[in-house]
Structure 1
C-alpha cells in the first residue's frame, strides 16, 4: 500500500477516486489455525470488496513478527498484542510525542487469553508440575513466547523450552512429545477447538500469578476466566488477557488509515462470523489503544462516527 501516490481513499471518495488497480494490501496475520489468521483473511476479503484492492495475508509466528513486518514495510497492517506493541519505539503511556512513533494503531480489536494446554489425562495440575518438563512455548520471538516466559519466570518454574507454532504444538501434545503448550490467542482458538473435539484437554490455571502479572505490567494484562464451554473443559480456568491492536506504520496516509479503520468497523459482523473473538470489537473499545497512539486517520474516522476521543 505504501510508496504509491494514491492507493486507498476514504470510502466516500471511492466513486470519484478509484484506487490503483495494482494496489495490494498486505495483512500480517499469524500461524495457521490461529485467530489472527482467520480474522486476517476476513479483513482481507472485506477490504478487497470495499476498497477494490488486492489483498494478501502474510503468515507469521505472531505478534512480534507482525510488529517487525509493519515497521519494516513488509506488511501494511498487522495484528499485535499490547505487550509486544509496547516494545516499539515511541510507545508510551500518555499522549504526545507522536513524531517519534514508528507504528500507530487503527483500533483495539479483541483480547487474547493465555492458554496453557495439557492432555485431559495429564498428571499436570498446576504450573509447578511443569518443572523440567518439555513444554512448547510458542514460536521463537512470538508474543506467546514473551508472555509464556514472563509467566514461567514469575512462577519460578524452569522448563525444557521448545519453540513451536500452534499446529506443531497441537501435534506434539497429541503424540506425547511435549507435556504442555502455551498459546496466547482469542477464544475460541480454532486449532485448540479441533484438538478438544478429538480428545479431552485441560487448561492450567495461573492462580495467584494473575494479580502479580497485572500489578507488575500495569495496564498490559488483566484478569480473565475461560469458561468450560470454550473447549468442553472440566472447570473454569483463571488466566490473563492481553488486548490486540491493529497497527500500521506511522507514515501511512491519513486517507488510507481512515479507509481501513472504516472497513474494519463496518464489517464487524463478517469478522465475528469468521471467529467469535471479533464480537468484542466495537467503537467504544476500539479507541483504547494506549500505549500506542491512534493514527490521525483513525481518529478522523472515530470523530466522524461521533466517538469521543
Structure 2
C-alpha cells in the first residue's frame, strides 16, 4: 500500500468533521455498538471507552467499551460479530488472520477489517525501586513477572521476548490494575507492560511508591528487533515522573478494527468522528497524538473496511489499492 498526504489536507482534518449527522444514509445502522478493549487500568480500556463515548454522542447512538482479554480476544469478538468494533496490535492481527490465534486455533479470522490507526504500544518493564532491579540483567532467576491479561499483546509477546533475552521467570496473568497492586504488595517482582503510554497503572504506582522503569540496552533492543515484528521506540522522559531521560524500548502498532459486515456508511461516520478532530482524541488519552491520517500506512496486515477506505480516500490524499479493501 502507498499513502500520500498533504499539509493542506491535514489542516482541514483538524478543523471539523467532514460530515454532519444528517449527511449519512443510516439504513441498517445498529442502534448500539460495543468496542472490545482490554482490562481496566490499561490504555486500551481508557482509550476505547473514550472513543466509544465520543462516537455514541456524535452519532446519537448507544456505545460503550467492553472489558476483554485484549487484542487476541478482540479479533475473535469482532470476527464473529459479538463486538462491532475492537482494538488490536498488528502482531495478533496477523496471527488471527493466519489461523493461529490461541483463542480459536485453526480459525482464520478474515471478517475483521481495519478502521483507523491508534498508536504504538511500547514494551516496558516496571519494578519497585526497593527491589534493586534496575535492568533486564538484574531480574533474578525465577522472578514472578506479571504479563497482563491472558491472550493480550503483552502476554503473547513479552514472555517470548524474555525468553529471547535469557530471563527465567514464573509467569503470572491478570488485569493491569490488579498486577500493579500485587507488585506494590510484594507478590510480584516485575510487571512487563505492553500498552499505550502513559500506562494508567504505572502512573498510579508512581504516585503511591517509588518505581524503576527499566529500559532495554542497545544490544537487547537489537535482539528484539531481529526476532519480533516490532520497531525501535523511545519512551519520552516526560511520560512518567520517574524518568529523567528517554527510555529505550520497542513498540508495535495498534489499529481500531470493525466487523467487515457493518454498513459502510456507519463505519465511515465512525472514522470521521474519530479522525477529524485529533484534539478531542488527545483529551481522551495522550497516546492519541498518533491517531492521525498519516499513520494509516502502518497497516500492512488487515484489509480495510470499505467505509474506512472511503473516508481516507475522500478526505486525504491516501491511495488505498482495491485489493487491500474488503470485498475489493
Q: TM-score per shorter chain, which class?
A: 0.7 to 0.9
User: How far, CA to CA, are the matches of 2:237 and 2:210 in structure 1?
Assistant: 12
User: How far, CA to CA, are the matches of 2:211 and 2:161 in structure 1?
Assistant: 21
Tell me the TM-score normalised to structure 2 length: 0.82
Question: Following TM superposition, by how much is the alpha carbon of 1:252 offset from its aligned partner in structure 2, in angstroms?
Answer: 2.4
Q: Deviations over 1:100-156 (max 9, x none)?
A: 832110111111111211012222122233221111111111111112112111112
Tell me the TM-score normalised to structure 1 length: 0.87
Q: How many equivalent pairs are there?
A: 291
Q: Deviations over 1:234-259 (max 9, x none)?
A: 54321111111001122223222212
Q: Which aligned runs of 4 or more in structure 1 are off by greater than 6 angstroms? A: 19-22
- 1:20 to 1:56, Cα distance in 2 relative to 1, 3 A: farther
User: How far, CA to CA, are the matches of 2:114 and 2:25 in structure 1?
Assistant: 25
Matched, 1:159 2:169: yes
Matched, 1:214 2:225: yes
Matched, 1:54 2:53: no
Partner of 2:97: 89
Structure 1: gaps spanning 5 or more residues: 1-9, 92-98
Q: 1:129 aligns with which of 135, 138, 143?
A: 138
Q: Deviations over 1:15-71 (max 9, x none)?
A: 575577971111111211221111212212221122111112111122122112111
- 1:302 to 1:180, Cα distance in 2 relative to 1, 3 A: same
User: How far, CA to CA, are the matches of 1:293 and 1:284 in structure 2?
Assistant: 17
Task: Specify the SS of the correspondent of 2:97.
Answer: coil
Matches within 5 A, 1:1-309: 11=19, 14=22, 17=25, 23-89=31-97, 101-130=110-139, 131-207=141-217, 208-217=219-228, 220-235=229-244, 236-309=246-319
RMSD: 2.3
Task: Specify the SS of the correspondent of 1:187.
Answer: coil
**Preserved contact between residue 22 and residue 54 of structure 1 (Cα < 8 Å):** no
Structure 2: gaps spanning 5 or more residues: 1-17, 100-107, 320-328
Question: Following TM superposition, by how much is the alpha carbon of 1:296 offset from its aligned partner in structure 2, in angstroms?
Answer: 1.9
Question: Following TM superposition, by how much is the alpha carbon of 1:72 offset from its aligned partner in structure 2, in angstroms?
Answer: 2.2
- 1:37 to 1:13, Cα distance in 2 relative to 1, 3 A: closer
